[in-house]
Amino acid sequence: MTGHLLVIGAQRCGTSYLHRVLDEHPQVEMARPARPEPKFFSDPERYARGLTWYVRTFFGPGDGVRLRGDKSTSYLESPAAAQRAAAVLGDAHVVAMLRDPLARAVSNWRFSTANKLEDRPLEQALADNLEAPRAWDAAATSVSPYAYLERGHYIDYLRPWARFGERLHVLFL
């Protein structure tokens, strides 16, 4: 029987590196393509297509595979993803990768700046973020590229995953 592993985590926390390392193991099959991420459990339209669609779309036949892995950082910020994964996968492993919140915020700002999503200096972006969330285009990115500080409140994102602790075995890194 093939088990399942979800790699969730804040963006800029090493999840892509872990995906590459796990994919090198002969008994682990990570979802393909690595980009864009599957986002099956966080995207209602994809989830509605069903588990069979998910497996056929992102995984091979599974010969010799003991563990199928899905790295989608958006799962961390999606309470629905935790509930759906527990309902569909049953007994699964979850690796939640976290990073110092301030270092993550700075890295997030650098990423947003490099990708032309942000034009404010770091200090201004963080100060503005303390005042109120900035509007963003949900069609362009799955999560706000400007939630520099909110996205470091990991406990808020981890609570939904902890609720399913008997079915989803979570490891924090």
The mean pLDDT value for 25-31 works out to 95
pTM recorded for the entire structure: 0.86
What's the pLDDT at 8? 95
Q: For 87-144, write each residue's pLDDT tens digit.
A: 999 889 999 999 999 999 999 999 999 999 999 999 999 999 999 888 888 888 877 8
Question: Which residue has better confidence, 156 or 36?
Answer: 156
Structure confidence at residue 136 (pLDDT): 87
- 61 by Cβ neighbours in 10 Å (0-12 / 13-18 / 19+) ranks as exposed
Instruction: Report the top-level CATH class of 3-99+153-172.
Output: alpha beta
